[in-house]
Structure 1
Amino acid sequence: MLKPAKPSDFSFFYGLYMHPEINPYLLYEQMSEESFIPIFEDLLHQKVLFVYYSDEQPAGMCKLVPQKHRNAHSFYLGGVAIHPQFSGKGHGLQMMKEILEYAKQQNCRRIELSTAAVNEKALRLYERAGFEREGLLRNYTWFRPENRYIDEILMSWLDKEYFDKL
């Protein structure tokens, strides 16, 4: 089940964002809880953070950011992660299905994301969920721990049922 994040979810989000297996693929460098608090509070204020639950336990997270003006039919999807304890059990695909369903309920017709070109597990998940590759952002993300840039793959999902009716 996908639910909006609340202040009491801080430890879960911090733990996932800073988890050594997950952090290299997300936006923020390793940091202290104190440094992460204003980031978390800002994302809460924007109402873009979501928690995916499995049997009432937090198992995954994402950011789903509505776009504005001429792009108001689109969301940006980021910060997608499943806790390693739940990994490999179908939760990633189930969370993606729930994200897509939520987006449709919000009249979203397009979801876009980018992921590290080396993150083959994420690429497979997104493609299984119906996302298609749209392009490559070369040397897009600076990965400080390894002193290198990482290419990102642009992907999108389109509400084909809606667009087929046009």
Structure 2
Amino acid sequence: MRLRILIFLTLAPVLAQADSRDARERQEVLKIFDLLTSKMDVTAGDGIGSDLDCVFSREWDESWHRNAKGVETKPFRPRELLSLQEALDPLGQHAEMFCDYAERVEQAQILAQSSGKNIAVANVGFSYPVFGRNFETATVYYQQRSDLFYPDSNKKRGVPVGSNGIITARKRGGVWTYESSVTGISN
């Protein structure tokens, strides 16, 4: 029993510190996504817009961990303390903008066929931030693209245009600032 109490007393400060660090990380993730949404139009996909409300997956984008063949290339993966929806919509005011992409594809196909119109769908994804020591820097991968669904086909045709990139943010005077962005464009 004494050993148990001794272990608890020894670990209590460590556990409290871990909880404190997790709480701080959650706050920093919210601040970073507040910064990103103030700098980017995160609802437009690649600029074509969207005929459906859903723009974001419910999951963090992990494609930056894989190469072109889908093989995992990065052994490090940050522990996610918030969902993408919690980071982008912390007050829960835009739940309609988050969905399962597979369900949305099916919805877009049905809508294109029933309406007889082309349906544009925006896709915007973000990775969970990778923080530097002491939360002074953060890196986020993002991708944006649009898919078009046609009434005469069950499949989308091409990706008209898309972009992806890496955003680096740095904390200056306690405030996150947009440091740099490296972007690639495909069409």
TM-based fold match above 0.5: no
Judging by fraction of residues, say which structure has more helix. Answer: 1
* Greater RCO, 1 or 2 (C-alpha within 8 Å, sep 6+): 2
**Greater Cα radius of gyration, structure 1 or 2:** 2
